[in-house]
Amino acid sequence: MISTRLTSKICLFVISLAFTQPILAAENPTGERWFQVEMTLFTHENSNLDMEIWSPTKLSLGFPERLRKLRKLSDFLQLDDWSILTGVVQPVAIAASAIPADAVPSAITPVQPLVGPRPYAPGESFRLPDFERQSFLALLAQDHDFTGSNRALSQSSAYRVLFHNAWRQPMTRRNGATAVVVSGGRTYNQRSELEGSVSLYFNNTEDRVVFDSNVWLTSFSAAQSSEEDWSLPVLPAVMLAASADENAEAVEYHINRIIQLRQVRDMRSGEFHYIDHPAMGILVQITPYVVPEIPVPGVEELVDPLQFQ
């Protein structure tokens, strides 16, 4: 278990970061009520977990049917010429038949693969994400509020940050909620040290947001060191790595222990919440968000008056 002294430090740390805002989100033009969510999940590196009783029979692991990953900016990028972003001309592959016979060998650019996200299938239209109006997008750093707290956690040997993200979403009742994939830490073939999901939805009176988390921490090793029969749920398609090489020879890993954090908590918007556990902790904040209307350019915006002077 976590010592009283450590718990007190964490509580003081959380209280020092807490602040209050209105409880309910303002209604958006569409009638939906949106919130910005930010969450950090970290481990307690100095906890003596051997003092706890962990058993496969006490686990309730699984992924909900309505599940999605947060999309990142890099998921949308489709650039053949990366010099647009970097200012550096990338090498271009030249067919041997296309090289003039009198070409100087030193002037020929060597063939090198471009580095970046996989391009979309031909025919699919390219569109940059709208972070202000699209839901379940991983927000950029300028929209994060946990920068200071994450830095403090990372600089301490007592903690290790496994997951951090921020996104915006419309809030619904439980039966319409979409769960967000949680994955982080070290990777072992297709599996991650941290796996699970979180869902957020209104309570029955819609005056609180319910934070519903089901995450687990798995201890892997190359050698079998546990007599318990530990097993993980099958990964849903949305969590499978598209870049994985199916023909590559994978190292066989054994599961020595699985620690689950299952927590359902009502939360007020604008408050800084800390969820404690012997093995890990979660920092969560939900903030009301108003989706801005799409600007419609007026005549005065289309015509530059300076061009007539």
Query: Confidence class of residue 12 from pLDDT cuts 50, 70 and 90?
Result: very low
Query: Confidence class of residue 301 from pLDDT cuts 50, 70 and 90?
Result: low
Indicate if the alpha-carbon torsion angle 242, 246, 249, 254 is positive or negative.
Answer: positive
pLDDT reported for residue 142: 95
pTM over 0.75: no
Residue found by looking up tokens 């950090």 in the block:
40
pLDDT reported for residue 228: 84
- CA angle (64 as vertex; 266, 120 as ends), nearest 5: 115
- For residue 84, the SS3 value is helix
Long-range contacts made by residues 151-157, C-beta under 8 angstroms, separation at least 24?
152/13, 153/40, 153/42, 157/45, 157/46
Q: Does the structure show a pLDDT above 90 at 244? A: no
pLDDT reported for residue 289: 96
Q: Percentages helix, strand, coil for the chain, rounded to the nearest 5?
A: 20, 30, 50
Query: Confidence class of residue 118 from pLDDT cuts 50, 70 and 90?
Result: low
Q: Please state, in angstroms and rounded to a whole number, the distance separating the CA atoms of residues 115 and 259.
A: 37
Q: Please state, in angstroms and rounded to a whole number, the distance separating the CA atoms of residues 1 and 172.
A: 36
| Percent of the residues in the chain that have a pLDDT greater than 70, as a whole number | 67
Comparing 25-34, 95-104, 123-132, 144-153, the range with the smallest average pLDDT is: 95-104
pLDDT reported for residue 106: 46
In this prediction, residues 17-26 reach a mean pLDDT of 44
pLDDT reported for residue 269: 87
Q: Using DSSP bridges, classify how beta strands 179-188 and 191-202 pair: parallel, antiparallel or unpaired.
A: antiparallel
Q: Does the structure show a pLDDT above 80 at 17? A: no
pLDDT reported for residue 270: 86
Q: Please state, in angstroms and rounded to a whole number, the distance separating the CA atoms of residues 160 and 175.
A: 34
Q: How high does pLDDT run on average in the chain?
A: 79
* More confidently predicted of 243 and 298: 298
Under a CB-based contact definition with an 8 Å cutoff, are residues 281 and 273 in contact?
Answer: no
Cα–Cα nearest to 257, from 235, 227, 222, 215:
227
pLDDT reported for residue 53: 78
Tens-place pLDDT, residues 167-207 = 999 999 999 999 999 999 999 999 999 999 999 999 999 99
| Percent of the residues in the chain that have a pLDDT greater than 90, as a whole number | 53
pLDDT reported for residue 107: 45
Rg (CA), the chain: 24
Tens-place pLDDT, residues 39-67 = 999 999 988 887 677 889 899 999 999 99
Under a CB-based contact definition with an 8 Å cutoff, are residues 35 and 209 in contact?
Answer: yes
Q: Does the structure show a pLDDT above 80 at 287? A: yes
Query: Confidence class of residue 238 from pLDDT cuts 50, 70 and 90?
Result: very high
Q: Where are the domains of the chain?
A: 4-49+131-239+249-289
In this prediction, residues 205-214 reach a mean pLDDT of 96
- For residue 12, the SS3 value is helix
Tens-place pLDDT, residues 90-104 = 444 444 444 455 544
